[in-house]
Amino acid sequence: MRSRDGNLTFSLRLCSIIFFSSLALNASEYLISYRYVVKNATLYNEILHISNAMQPCHGKTQQTLILESNNSSDLRKIISQNSQEFTEFIHKLGLHVKHEDITINSQNSSTTILTLKTTCFKVDFNDNFASISPLK
């Protein structure tokens, strides 16, 4: 004989699964790469690539950056509006640094390249904020 609340626990489990999966589906995953080139103490080139992840990214979320989004879900626009905060954040993540210093005929020439390899970020868009967390 079945208990009266047997169907209640099943329906509660089903509702909780639907609720938590809807929270998980709200987050989007993006692949972001960054490259910054300085030649002779002058900014030569800066490139930021952002694309949606085609496959789910695996890993644990690291420290989170929260940026003001003003009800926007366009990550490129949000990052461009808060570019200083975002570049400071990715500098803390760790960039690959390549420096070359050449002196020919008493003329010094230097080139520094900072590179963030393609990294998967989990992005949650709320009403006024977007939280960005790298996955490692």
Whether the model clears a pTM of 0.95, i.e. scores above it, the answer is no
pLDDT value for 69: 85
pLDDT tens column, 42-64: 999 999 999 999 989 888 988 99
pLDDT value for 19: 41
| Domain boundaries defined on the chain | 27-134
pLDDT tens column, 85-131: 998 999 888 889 999 999 999 899 999 999 999 999 999 988 789 99
Q: Cα–Cα distance between 81 and 97 in angstroms, integer?
A: 26
Task: Name the helix (H) or strand (E) containing 119.
Answer: strand 107-125
